[in-house]
């Protein structure tokens, strides 16, 4: 289906800005770092999932759903934004949370855990890591059906072919902004997690023959596994939108800054979060953008980029979860 013909809700009324990070660039001695502020998308607190939900929620409404059902990790930004979209549309929302780190869910925790309650989750089911998450979501959908209601199941991160359309659109937006600004990027860097953002950007840039490398910074899995996941979803998303599929060798997702595991803090993440905050007034999160920014800084220190290169960091949001990591991040 052509992208322009897809039903879409609009939660962000304008393109998110691209800004230069002069002080951070000077601190690192190059490259010239720019940031795409997708932490400033619409809904509660913003973030990359907002773009995916524009297409997913439109599909839910088209199908007559009255309840969104989705899954995420403890402190999930995706769950926060899905709840916000549900509230905005007058829908109910049920969450399934996975404890990817054993014992990590605490009802009284701040950050997104607090917002799940504030935004009005109808039910919240907490499962151990490795559980059948798809089965758990389908079970919620069956419960709704037995009550005469209709659920719409959204995969983790909103990362399916339809959700990835949000970042095919974002790739077009970035290229249009570059044209307006007279700016050409030598490389674009983004966090790579559930794969929808990474895959969507890859499809969008590839379809436009943009010729700019897209580098993913993995936050969870070994490199080969993550690159396989991203390429698989990119091929599905390209087919869905009737666009050419990116090649396998165009998929890069470095795993050097994952650390001990998903959401587990690292010294490099703490440094990155504090540098972006103190030098540029930009808030990252500890799980996704903090580790991706640690990778960006690490690549700069390894001379991966030329000193005068223009590098765009796509900020995928997540700042509300900072408040659950105060003991780690405070000086």
Active site residue 76: yes
Asked if 203 and 241 count as a contact pair (C-beta separation under 8 A), the reply is yes
Other Cβ atoms closer than 10 A to 125: 17
For residues 30 and 307, is the Cβ–Cβ distance under 8 A? Answer: yes
* Structural tokens at position 185: 């990027």
Active-site hit among 76, 159, 263, 321: 76
Among residues 115, 3, 14, the alpha carbon closest in space to that of 58 is found at: 3
Structure tokens at 8: 């879409």
Read off φ and ψ for residue 105, nearest 5 degrees.
-85, 125
Site of tokens 């773009």: 51
Do the strands 310-315 and 18-20 form a parallel or antiparallel pair, or are they unpaired?
unpaired
Tell me how far apart the alpha carbons of residues 212 and 209 are, in angstroms, rounded to a whole number: 8
> Helix or strand or coil: residue 60?
helix
- How many other β-carbons are positioned within 10 Å of the β-carbon of residue 66? 17
Distance of CA 326 to the CA centre of its chain: 22
Report the catalytic residues: 76
């Amino acid at each position: 289906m052509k992208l322009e013909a897809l039903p879409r809700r609009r939660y962000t009324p304008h393109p998110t800005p691209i800004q230069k990070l002069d002080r951070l660039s000077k601190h690192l001695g190059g490259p010239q770092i720019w940031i795409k502020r997708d932490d400033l998308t619409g809904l509660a607190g913003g973030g990359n999932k907002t773009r995916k939900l524009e297409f997913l929620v439109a599909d839910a409404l088209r199908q007559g759903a009255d309840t969104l059902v989705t899954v995420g990790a403890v402190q999930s930004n995706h769950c926060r934004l899905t709840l916000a979209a549900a509230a905005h549309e007058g829908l109910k929302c049920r969450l399934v949370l996975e404890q990817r780190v054993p014992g990590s869910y605490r009802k009284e925790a701040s950050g997104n855990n607090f917002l799940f309650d504030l935004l009005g989750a109808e039910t919240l089911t907490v499962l151990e890591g490795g559980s059948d998450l798809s089965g758990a979501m389908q079970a919620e959908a069956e419960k709704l059906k037995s009550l005469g209601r209709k659920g719409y199941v959204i995969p983790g991160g909103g990362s399916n072919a339809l959700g990835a359309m949000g970042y095919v659109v974002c790739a077009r937006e970035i290229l249009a902004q570059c044209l307006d600004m007279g700016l050409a990027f030598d490389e674009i860097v983004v966090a790579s997690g559930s794969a929808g953002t990474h895959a969507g950007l890859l499809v969008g840039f590839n379809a436009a023959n943009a010729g700019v490398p897209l580098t993913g910074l993995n936050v969870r899995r070994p490199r080969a596994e993550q690159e396989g996941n991203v390429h698989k979803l990119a091929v599905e998303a390209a087919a869905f939108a009737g666009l050419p599929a990116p090649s396998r060798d165009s998929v890069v997702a470095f795993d050097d800054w994952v650390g001990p595991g998903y959401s587990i803090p690292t010294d490099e993440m703490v440094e990155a979060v504090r540098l972006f905050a103190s030098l540029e007034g930009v808030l990252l999160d500890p799980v996704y953008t903090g580790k991706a920014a640690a990778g960006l800084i690490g690549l700069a220190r390894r001379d991966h980029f030329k000193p005068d290169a223009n590098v765009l960091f796509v900020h995928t949001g997540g700042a509300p979860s900072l408040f659950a990591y105060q003991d780690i991040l405070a000086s």
